[in-house]
Structure 1
C-alpha cells in the first residue's frame, strides 16, 4: 500500500530539497526490497518551455512574465511504511516521469492523466511567468520529460541605467542572453555561470565597452574603455577636471558609444589697465552759425583713470570682464560745441573761420561762404569765381574775393591790397561792409538776386 502524502504547511524550497535527497538515498538502499519512492522536484533554470498559469490550463505553450515572484515548491515526500503485496499494483498503475525544475532532475510517479496532475502530485505550485514544457494540459506518457523553469527577478544596472527585469534563465549568462545584453568585453558584477537567486531579486551590474571621443586642451582623444559614466571615460583618457572647468555632460551621466565629450578650461584673472575718460560735451545753440553747422568753442580735454578688471576666460577666450575698482588719474575738461540755428539769408549767420596761416583751397572757400544757395556764395562766384587773388581786368581797381576797392577796403579796417589778405580776412571785412551798407555795395548782388 502507498503511504498517504504528509499533511501540514507547505515546505520551503530548501526543506523540499533536503527531503528529496533523503528520499533518494533511502530508495537506493531499499532497491532489493521494493520500488523507488516518488521524487520531489528541485529548482534550477532551463532555457525554454511553456508557461502554465494554473494546473487546469490546456495543453500547449503558454508564457507570461510577471515582474516579481518567488517560486515555492511544496515538497511531498512519499513515505513507504510497509512493503506489501500492494507494491506491485502501485508500480503497474502509476506513470513514471522525469521532472526537471530549474535544472534539477528527479524521477516521479503519478496516477494522474496530465502534466498538471503530475505537478500537483509533487506539490509544485506553478505561477505566472513560469515556463512549463510540455503544457500543463498535455497528456502524460511513460518516461515523459517535464521541464519547469521558474520566473526570477533581476535588478539590472546596464551602463548606469537601472531597471527590473524578469527571466526564466538559470544563470547570469543565460539571463543576459535572454535580455539581449552582450557580455563580451564587458565588466559584469557576477560570474556568467553564477546561478540566479530563486528567493529574491538578483542584483546585476553590467558595464559594456564603448568608443568615445574626448576633446580637451586643444586635443581630440579617441577612447576605447569599459566605462559607465562620463567621469570614468575622462579618467581613461587621462583628462583631469577641476571644479571650475566646464564639461558638456555631467560627470555622473551615463555614456554611450559614439558620444563626444568636451572639456573646457575656465580661468579667472585680474587685470589692471589705464583708460581714457572722454571729455563731456556741452552743445550750445547760436544764430551766428548757419542752421546745422557746428563749431568747437572750447576743445576740452580727455582724462585718464586706472581700472582693475576681473576677467573670465574659457579655453583662453575672454567671455566676461567685470570692473572691480577705478582710480581717476586726471579729470576730463568739458568740450563746448556751438550748434548753428542761423538763417541762410542772414549775413551774420556766416562765421569766419580762424586764420591758422594755412592756404585755403577753393573747396574750403566755398564751404566758408556757405556753399551753393547762400548769398555770400553767389556774390563771390560772380565777383571773383572764388579766387582770393583776383584783380578786375577792366580797370585794375578792384581786388580779391569780394572785389574790394582800396578806399572801401581801408574804410572797414583793411590795409594794403585786399588780394594780399587771407580769404578769412577778406570775408570778415566783407561782412563788416554788408552790415554797414547792405548788399548794394556789390554790383553782382542785383545780378544774382541777392538783396
Structure 2
C-alpha cells in the first residue's frame, strides 16, 4: 500500500492542539475586572466620663484619651515637677485619676519607735527593786514625705512608710511592794514625813536632800535605791526609810535629828 505524503499529517496535529485548548486544557485564565473590597474603617473611641481628683477635689471630664496623660491634656490639667499621679501617666486611666500636688521632691526620714517596758512581778527580786531580764530595742521605720500646701500653708505630709524593724520591749522583773520591814513598820512614818517634807514625796531641798524623808543620794543608794528618791513612789520611799532605820539599829538621831521624834508620836 502506498503511504501518504508527510505534508498531510500537519493539519491533523494542529487540529488536535486546537481541540485540546477548546476543551479546557492549560491556558491562561482571563483577568477579573471585579473591584477589590474596601479595608474596614476604624472608628474613634467614644467619649467617656473620667473623674480627676486633685488634692481631694473631684472634677468630671468627658474624654477619648486612652492614657492618663491624654486624659489630663484633654482636661487641661498640668502636672507639676513633683506631683504624684495614680495611675501612672502612661497607664490606662480607669474611672478615677488621683493627683497629689507636691511642693518639693519626696524625701526619706528614719523614725525610731521607743521600746515599751514590761514589768513582771517576781518574788526572787528584793522588795521595791527591779532586775532587767531583757534589754529593749527601738524600732525603725522609713518614712517618705514631702511638702504640700494645705489651707494656704506649706506643711509636711507623709506619703508612705515602711517598717524596717519592730521595737523589742524591755522586760523587768519587779520585786514585791512590801508594806514594811518588821517592827519599823509600826512607827509613825507619816508623822516623820510631815515634819521632814510636809508630806510631799517630790520635795527637793537645794542642800541635796530628796523626797518624803529627805534622803541624801548616798544614803538612798546605801539602802538599794536607784535614781533620785523624789522620783520613787511614796511607798518605796517609806520602805527604804524603814530599811535605813533597821540598818542603823534604830538610832534615828543620826538620820533625822530634828524630826525623828515624830516616829513615836
TM-score normalised to structure 2 length: 0.37
TM-score normalised to structure 1 length: 0.25
> Which structure is higher in RCO with an 8 Å CA cutoff and minimum separation 6?
2
Based on CA coordinates, which of the two structures has the bigger radius of gyration?
1
